[in-house]
Amino acid sequence: MAGTPLHESMNGDGVYTFYNEDLRVAFEQHIPFLLSGNRSTLIDIKPIMAYQNEFDFNSLLLALQIPYYAHWVTMRLNGLTHPSEYTRDMLKIFLPDLELLEKIKSLEMTILRVDS
C-alpha cells in the first residue's frame, strides 16, 4: 500500500524557509534591531569550548544547543560571514531571540508572498 510520503503531507514552510535568500537579506537588514534593546543575549564561551570549536562556528552553536536553522543569523549577528572565521579569542557571542526570528520570518514571508 503506497501512501503519501511524509515530507509531502507536512504543513507549513518549516525551518527550510530560513535558507531562503530573500529572507536572509531581511535578517541582514534586521541585525541592528536584533542587537539593540536586549533582543539578543550576550553569552560567555568557556576558553576550552572556544579552543575546541575554533574555525567551526557551527560546531560551537551545536554544542550550545542552538537550532541549526538559527546558525546563519547567529553567525551574522556576531560579525562573521563564514563559520570558519570563528576564533578561540571570541569568548562572548550574541544569541538571537528565537521567537523574534520566527516573528521576523513570518512577517517577511507574508511580504514576499504579497509581492509575488
In whole angstroms, what is the distance from residue 37 CA to residue 41 CA?
10
Match 571570541 to its residue by C-alpha cell. Answer: 90
| Domain-embedded: residue 69 | yes
In single-letter form, the type of residue at position 114 comes to V
Match 509575488 to its residue by C-alpha cell. Answer: 116
pTM of the model: 0.81
| Domain-embedded: residue 81 | yes
| Domain-embedded: residue 83 | yes
| Domain-embedded: residue 13 | no
Query: Can you give the pLDDT of all 116 residues of the chain as single tens digits?
Result: 456 554 444 444 456 667 788 889 999 999 999 999 999 999 999 999 999 999 999 999 999 999 999 999 999 999 999 999 999 999 999 999 999 999 999 888 887 666 66
